[in-house]
Amino acid sequence: MALSARDRKPVLALLEHAQLVYLLTRYPKKQVLDDSGDVTRLEQGVDAMRDEAKRVSASLREATPDVPWDLLMKRTDGPELAWRAAKRTAPRVLAYLVPLVEGAPEAAFFLRPEAAKTPAKRTKASGRKAPTRPARASRRPGRADRRT
């Protein structure tokens, strides 16, 4: 799907703000919410994303139903709600809108959210990993056979 000239500028601005918000959500929640500077950056980033999302045309919003537009345009009051909105919207905005601007020079530097890693394979019913032990030698090293 190609972007219209009207939507190109707000989408690029939305993606720029989403990158900052996404990077903040990669840190532990307690670390971000305990620092007043990070809280300010988070709230300002979410507000800027909301403002840019309002400038996107309705036709683009309908064409990209995977982006949570309603949550993105909702006002957040307080750091806890801003954190929740950021965790839910920023990765999806980046995942679904970055491919729309692939031809733009700025798109080369946009983040792509990591896919969820699959957990390590468990071997026992208890959920623990099986220990790996070296094979046991039949004889101790360095001892000669004394039967002769």
DSSP collapsed to 3 states, the chain: CCCCHHHHHHHHHHHHHHHHHHHHHCCCHHHHHHCHHHHHHHHHHHHHHHHHHHHCCHHHHHHCCCCCHHHHCCCCCCHHHHHHHHHHHHHHHHHHHHHHHCCCHHHHHCCCCCCCCCCCCCCCCCCCCCCCCCCCCCCCCCCCCCCC
Mean pLDDT on 27-48: 94
Q: Given pLDDT bands bounded at 50, 70 and 90, which one contains residue 1? A: low
Q: In this predicted structure, which of 46-50, 73-77, 115-119 has the lowest mean pLDDT?
A: 115-119
pLDDT over 70 for what percent of the chain?
72
Q: Given pLDDT bands bounded at 50, 70 and 90, which one contains residue 114? A: low
